[in-house]
């Protein structure tokens, strides 16, 4: 699986290109997409950012989608310039940083930097999605408004996972981390996830996605007894290398019949364990996704999104 197309909606809003779609889209009801159309850095991204910020309706913008800022494969996003423009978007509630397809830059090649200034500059932000994790960093913060946090990667560094777990996010209802593979910097282990699995700093969390994980079996074992699971409505371990051991641990652990949805698609679970999952969870009304089964040997397994 690769990310081959741009999103068409974000945070409940249709995505439109700035400035190409001016006159065709609602100014306030649109997620405006900003990018450099050239794969190399021509400076056009900053030109478009400044132009949008200068619009007399910039104070109506509720969502931004930042695509290729130019040369994303060898340069981090200009966080300082983005932060400097943010006061002109006082109603901004949703931000996607790095909405880039594989043709523009493979997910594991997207360069990043410290994204903490974005959260500090946007105390009213409700949705943050980041794609890519090379050199990504985050300092623990307390953010009172954030409801959804997603970091998509082919390999999420352990220090970022730990920083997320150390953040105080009392309003967060959805957390999604693509843990990836150690081959692309995904060196987090179950111990790094412990603060998240305790749920202590995430009192409102109802949806947890630990996706695209090489260590999916170990994550499943940890989830079997994790305190946060009891209050979840949705649990997602899709896109990773989940096999019989992990799935059996989920079944042997705390009850999961309270879940509305359990997403395991793209997995390596055998027919017998799938039958048990269906019998015990599907029969209890849990929406269960076990599509994308693969029977290959453990040494040949792969995560869905890496390069």
pLDDT in tens, 185-237: 999 999 999 999 999 999 999 999 999 999 999 999 999 999 999 999 999 99
Evaluate whether residue 203 is within a structural domain: yes
**Domain, as residue range, for 24:** 9-240
Evaluate whether residue 162 is within a structural domain: yes
147/129 Cα distance (integer angstroms): 11
Evaluate whether residue 272 is within a structural domain: no
Per-residue CA distances from 171 to 11, 116, 124, 175 (Å): 16, 18, 11, 11
User: Over pLDDT 90: what percentage of the chain?
Assistant: 92
Evaluate whether residue 176 is within a structural domain: yes
Q: Which pLDDT value is given to residue 1?
A: 62
Query: How many domains, in total, are found in the chain?
Result: 1
Q: Which pLDDT value is given to residue 233?
A: 98
First-to-final CA distance of the chain:
10
Q: Which pLDDT value is given to residue 184?
A: 95
DSSP the chain: ----S--SEETTEEEEETTTTTTTS-SSSSEEEE--SSSS--SHHHHHHHHHHHSTTGGG--EEEE---S-TTTS---HHHHHHHGGG-TT--EEEE----TTT--GGG-B--B-HHHHHH-TT--EEEEE--BT-B----B-SS--EEEEE-SB--HHHHHHHHHSB-TT--EEEEEEE-GGGT----HHHHHHHHH-TT-TT--EEEEEEETTHHHHHHHHTT-GGGGG-SEEE-TTS--BHHHHHHHHHSS--TT-SEEE--SBB--HHHHHHHHHHTGGGT-EEE--SB----GGG---S---
The whole-model pTM stands at: 0.97
Evaluate whether residue 143 is within a structural domain: yes
Q: What is the CATH number of the domain that holds 151?
A: 3.80.10.10
Instruction: Summarize pLDDT for 3-35 with one digit per residue, the tens.
Output: 999 999 999 999 999 999 998 888 889 999 999
Residues counted in the chain: 307
- Cβ distance 111 to 134 under 8 Å? yes
Evaluate whether residue 285 is within a structural domain: no
Evaluate whether residue 4 is within a structural domain: no
Evaluate whether residue 249 is within a structural domain: no
Instruction: Summarize pLDDT for 233-283 with one digit per residue, the tens.
Output: 999 999 999 999 999 999 999 999 999 999 999 999 999 999 999 999 988
Tell me how many degrees the CA angle 91-169-125 measures, rounded to the nearest 5.
Answer: 10
């Amino acid at each position: 699986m690769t990310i081959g197309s741009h999103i068409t909606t974000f945070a409940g809003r249709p995505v439109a290109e700035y400035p190409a779609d001016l006159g065709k889209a609602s100014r306030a009801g649109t997620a405006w997409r900003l990018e450099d159309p050239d794969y190399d850095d021509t400076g056009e991204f900053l030109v478009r950012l400044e132009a949008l910020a200068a619009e007399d309706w910039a104070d109506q913008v509720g969502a931004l989608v930042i695509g290729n800022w130019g040369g994303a494969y060898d340069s981090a996003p200009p966080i300082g310039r983005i932060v400097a423009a943010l006061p002109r978007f006082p109603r901004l509630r949703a931000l996607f940083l790095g909405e880039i397809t594989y043709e523009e830059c493979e997910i594991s090649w997207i360069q990043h930097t410290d994204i903490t200034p974005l959260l500090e500059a946007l105390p009213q932000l409700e949705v943050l999605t980041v794609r890519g994790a090379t050199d990504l960093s985050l300092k623990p913060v307390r953010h009172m408004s954030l409801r959804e946090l997603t970091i998509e990667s082919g390999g999420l560094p352990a220090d970022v996972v730990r920083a997320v777990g150390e953040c105080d996010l009392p309003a967060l209802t959805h957390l999604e981390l693509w843990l990836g593979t150690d081959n692309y910097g995904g060196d987090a282990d179950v111990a790094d996830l412990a603060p998240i699995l305790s749920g202590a700093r995430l009192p409102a969390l109802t949806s947890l996605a630990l996706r695209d994980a090489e260590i999916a079996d170990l994550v499943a074992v940890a989830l079997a007894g994790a305190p946060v699971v009891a209050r979840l409505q949705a649990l997602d371990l899709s896109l990773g290398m989940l096999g019989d051991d992990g799935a059996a641990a989920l079944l042997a652990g705390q009850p999961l019949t309270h879940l509305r949805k359990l997403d395991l698609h793209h997995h390596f679970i055998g027919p017998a364990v799938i039958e048990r999952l269906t019998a015990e969870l599907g029969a209890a009304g849990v929406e269960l996704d076990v599509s994308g089964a693969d029977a290959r040997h453990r040494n040949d397994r792969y995560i869905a999104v890496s390069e």
